[in-house]
Every structure is written in structure tokens, then in C-alpha cells.
């Protein structure tokens, strides 16, 4: 089964878990509307497939920085499960929106014109946990709630022990992206992958600034690095 078939099967399963059967009897539109609640899009999902195919034989787990409704988390977890790959995905998010002070600095610098209310829908955390349970992913996905600066110190000893093979940084703002990159890059195993979303985004221009700064800082242990279709790939030297 290829990646797109796996994605469709997982989406169908998740939709059946979350929506009553009566909804499906009334309308097949649910299947077209339901897309894991991920903003990756087709090009981002293709990049994810390629990145996930790089890591099955590497030791270590996965950290996602900026999970929102854990849509991308579910895509990754379902694909890894279909490939028989057992790795924990740590889904890290405040589940309450951006840090207000950092977001305001980005607005003042003209890097975003989004409202502060972005990603602040009520009940995110509860919804995410319910979705993970309904999908039977509670042993594969570990939700890490809180601002990165507050939550990471509670987990870093576990991540140091288990090591990381893949980090997805999808938190949009320069300071948060750099914090995650600096904190987690040392925990990546040789050959491990770090990927950044929103490098080409006009809505969150701080993302490109963060990636360019981080790449410029790492001349010794940085191997391949490039913009894929949507995600920016960094690979640690083997």
C-alpha cells in the first residue's frame, strides 16, 4: 500500500470514528471535507512521505513542534503504523494559540497580519486527546501541552535518553522556531532529519528568517539542506 492509499484509508477510518454513522448515510460530502484537520496540503503531505521514508531504520523518536489539532500528527502516525514502524510522536503545542508577546512583536515587524486569535479555538486539547483515543493512537502519540519554553524542560531528559530521528517544526514565529531548533537539534541522531514548515509563507514571514538563521549557525554538523515542495529539510551529518 503506497502513501496516498494509506492516507485515504486512515482518513476514512478516522472520519468513521469521529462522525456518527447517520452522517455518512445522509451525505458522502463528509469524506471529501474531512482531511485530518491538517494544513499541510498535497505538497506538504508528499514531503512528509519522503521524510518519513528516511527514518525507519534510524533509532529515536519524533517530535512535532506546533500540532494544533494534531492533523499532521495523525497523518504521520497512520503512515508509520502502515509501514510497521514503531516510533513515538510527541505532539507539542500550547493548544491555546501563539504566545501573545511574541506574536505582537511579529506583527510590529510586519511579518504577519494575522489576528492574535489565530489557533485559539476552545477545546483544542480535549478534542485532540479524544481523536487520539478514537484512532487507537494513544500509545503511539504523546501530547505535550504548554508553551515550548515551559514544556520542553519537563521532557528533555526523556528525549535525551530515547534520542530523536525526526523533528517537524511548524510553529510559524521566528523566536519559537529557533527555540525548538536549538533545543532539539542536539538530540537528533546522526542522519536524523529536521524539517520546517512555512518557509515560503507570506502570512508568517518570520519562518524563513528563522530557518535561514539556523542554517547559517550550523556549518559543521549540517549535511543536506534544501527547500522541498513545501517543507525545508535539514539533515544531520552521519
Angle, helices 174-184 vs 148-162, to 10°: value is 20
Q: What is the DSSP letter of 196?
A: E
d(Cα 112, Cα 172) in Å, to the nearest integer? 10
pLDDT of the residue at 36 = 63
The lowest-confidence range among 28-37, 194-203, 224-233 is 28-37
Q: Which strands make up the sheet holding 164-169, listed edge to edge?
A: 141-145, 89-93, 61-65, 164-169, 188-196, 232-236, 222-227
In the chain, where the domains are located: 39-236
Q: What is the pLDDT of residues 205-218, one digit of tens each?
A: 999 999 999 999 99
* For residue 5, pLDDT beyond 80: no
- Asked if 90 contacts 64 with a C-beta cutoff of 8 angstroms, the reply is yes
Instruction: Decide which of 69 and 17 is more confident.
Output: 69
Per-residue pLDDT band at 123 (split at 50, 70, 90): confident
95 pLDDT band, cuts 50/70/90, is very high
Out of 21-25, 184-188, 229-233, least confident range: 21-25
Across 20-29, 58-67, 171-180, least confident range: 20-29
Mention every residue, 6+ apart, whose C-beta is less than 8 A from residue 153: none
pTM check: above 0.95: no
User: What is the CATH number assigned to the segment(s) 39-236?
Assistant: 3.40.50.150
Among 38-42, 118-122, 132-136, the range with the most confident prediction by mean pLDDT is 132-136
Residue 126 CA to residue 79 CA, distance in Å, equals 24
Give the residue among 140, 150, 207, 195 at the shortest CA–CA distance from 169. Answer: 195
Over 70: is that where the pLDDT of 22 sits? no
Q: How many CA atoms lie within 13 A of 46 on its CB side?
A: 6
Amino acid at each position: 500500500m503506497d502513501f496516498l492509499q494509506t492516507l485515504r484509508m486512515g482518513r476514512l477510518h478516522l472520519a468513521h470514528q469521529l462522525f456518527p454513522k447517520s452522517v455518512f448515510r445522509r451525505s458522502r460530502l463528509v469524506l471529501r471535507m474531512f482531511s485530518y484537520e491538517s494544513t499541510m496540503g498535497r505538497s506538504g503531505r508528499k514531503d512528509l512521505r519522503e521524510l518519513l521514508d528516511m527514518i525507519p531504520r534510524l533509532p529515536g523518536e519524533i517530535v512535532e513542534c506546533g500540532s494544533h489539532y494534531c492533523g499532521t500528527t495523525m497523518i504521520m502516525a497512520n503512515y508509520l503504523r502502515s509501514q510497521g514502524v514503531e516510533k513515538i510522536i510527541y505532539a507539542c503545542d500550547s493548544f491555546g494559540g501563539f504566545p501573545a508577546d511574541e506574536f505582537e512583536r511579529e506583527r510590529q515587524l510586519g511579518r504577519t497580519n494575522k489576528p492574535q486569535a489565530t489557533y485559539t479555538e476552545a477545546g483544542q486539547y480535549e478534542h485532540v486527546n479524544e481523536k487520539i483515543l478514537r484512532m487507537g493512537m494513544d500509545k503511539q502519540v504523546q501530547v505535550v501541552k504548554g508553551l515550548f519554553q515551559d514544556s520542553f524542560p519537563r521532557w528533555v531528559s526523556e528525549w535525551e535518553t530515547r534520542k530523536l530521528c525526526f523533528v517537524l517544526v511548524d510553529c510559524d514565529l521566528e523566536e519559537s522556531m529557533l527555540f525548538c531548533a536549538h533545543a532539539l537539534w542536539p538530540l537528533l541522531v546522526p542522519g536524523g532529519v529536521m524539517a520546517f514548515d512555512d518557509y515560503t509563507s507570506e502570512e508568517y514571514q518570520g519562518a524563513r528568517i528563522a530557518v535561514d538563521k539556523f542554517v547559517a549557525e550550523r556549518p559543521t554538523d549540517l549535511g543536506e539542506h534544501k527547500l522541498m515542495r513545501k517543507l525545508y529539510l535539514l539533515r544531520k551529518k552521519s
